[in-house]
Chains A and B, each alone.
Chain A
Amino acid sequence: MKKTLFDKVWDAHVVDAIENGPQILYIDKHLIHEVTSPQAFNELKDRDIPVFRPNQIVATADHNTPTTNQHLPIQDTLSRHQLEQLSKNCTENGITLFELGHKYNGIVHVMSPELGITQPGMTIVCGDSHTSTHGAFGTIAFGIGTSQVAQVFASQCLLLTKPKSLRVSVNGKLKNGVLPKDVILYVISKLGTNAGTGYFCEYAGDVFENMSMEGRMTVCNMSIEMGARGGMIAPDQTTFDYVEGREFAPKGEDFKQKVAYWKTLPTDNGAKFDKEYFFDAEDIEPMVTYGTNPGMGIKVTENIPTLDDASFEKSLKYMDFKKGESLINKPINFVFIGSCTNSRIEDFRVAAQYIKGKQKAPNVTAWLVPGSKLVETQIIEEGLKDIFTAAGFELRQPGCSACLAMNDDKIPQNEYCVSTSNRNFEGRQGQGARTILASPLVAAATAVEGKIIDITKQLN
Chain B
Amino acid sequence: MEKFITLQSRAIPLDIENIDTDQIIPARFLKATDRKGFGDNVFRDWRYNKNGDINEEFPLNDTTYMGSILVAGDNFGCGSSREHAAWAIADYGFKVVVSSFFADIFKGNALNNGILPIQVSPEFLKVLFNNITSDPETIISVNLETQIISIQGTDFSEQFDIDPYKKTCLINGYDDIDYLLSKKEEILAFETKNENI
Q: Give the B-binding residues of A (Cβ under 8 A).
A: 12, 15-16, 18, 20-22, 24, 26, 28, 35-36, 38-39, 42-43, 47, 49, 56, 63-64, 76, 78-79, 81-82, 85, 121, 127-129, 131, 143-148, 150-151, 154-159, 161, 163, 193-194, 197-198, 224, 227, 229, 261, 293, 310-311, 314, 404-406, 413, 423, 425-428, 431-432
Q: By the criterion CB–CB under 8 Å, are B187 and A311 in contact?
A: no
Could you say which of A36, A145, A150, A426 contacts B108, with CB atoms under 8 Å apart?
Answer: A145
The chain A residue sitting closest to B36, CB to CB, is A39
Is B34 a contact of A227 with CB atoms below 8 Å? no
Residue-wise, chain B 180-197 has the 8 Å CB interface mask toward A (1 for contact) of 110110110011001011
**A227 contacts B103, CB within 8 Å?**
yes
One of B18-26, B140-148, B152-160 at the interface: B18-26
- Specify which chain B residues have a CB less than 8 angstroms from the CB of A21 in the assembled complex: 163-165
Q: Is B73 an interface residue (CB 8 A)?
A: yes
Q: Are A24 and B83 in contact (CB under 8 A)?
A: no
Whether the pair B28, A143 counts as a contact (CB closer than 8 A) is no
Q: Counting chain B CB atoms within 10 Å of each CB, which of A22, A157, A310 scores highest?
A: A157
Known: A227-B103, A229-B105. 17 other contacts (CB 8 A): A12-B196, A21-B164, A35-B30, A36-B82, A36-B83, A38-B33, A42-B33, A56-B197, A64-B30, A78-B32, A81-B31, A82-B33, A145-B86, A156-B191, A193-B78, A293-B78, A431-B26
**Chain B nearest CB: distance from A430 CB in Å?**
9
Chain A residues contacting B33 (CB-CB under 8 Å) are: 38-39, 42, 81-82, 85
Residue of B nearest to A229 (CB): B104
Cα distance A35–B45 when bound, in Å? 20
State whether the Cβ of B79 lies closer than 8 Å to any Cβ in chain A. Answer: yes
In the bound complex, residues from chain A placing their C-beta under 8 Å from that of B176 are 147-148, 151, 158-159
A194 touches B103 (CB 8 A): yes
CB of A129 within 8 A of CB of B79, answer: yes
Measured CB to CB, the residues of B under 8 A from A are 15-18, 20, 22-23, 26-28, 30-35, 45, 50, 73-75, 78-84, 86, 101-105, 108-109, 112-113, 163-165, 175-177, 179-181, 183-184, 186-187, 190-191, 194, 196-197
Give chain B residues whose Cβ lies under 8 Å from the Cβ of A81: 31, 33
| Bound form: Cα–Cα A163–B28 in Å | 32
Query: Are the CB atoms of B163 and A194 closer together than 8 Å?
Result: no
Q: Which residues of B contact A425 (CB under 8 A)?
A: 20, 22-23, 79
Q: Is there contact, CB below 8 Å, between B75 and A157? A: no
- How far, in Å, is B71 (CB) from chain A's closest CB? 15
- Residues in chain B near residue A82, CB distance under 8 A: 31, 33
Given A49-B177, A147-B176, A229-B104, the answer on whether A427 and B26 have CB atoms closer than 8 Å is yes
In the assembly, what is the distance between CA of A81 and CA of B82, in Å? 19
Interchain CB contact under 8 A, A143 and B23: no
Q: How far, in angstroms, from A205 to B23 measured CA to CA in the complex?
A: 36
Residues on B with C-beta less than 8 A from A163 are: 104
Contact, CB under 8 Å: A24 / B31: no
Are A151 and B26 within 8 A (Cβ)?
no
A28 touches B197 (CB 8 A): yes
Q: Specify which chain A residues have a CB less than 8 angstroms from the CB of B177 in the assembled complex.
A: 43, 47, 49, 150-151, 154-155
Shortest C-beta distance, A423 to chain B (Å), equals 6
Instruction: Tell which of B16, B74, B79, B86 has the most Cβ of chain A within 10 Å.
Output: B79
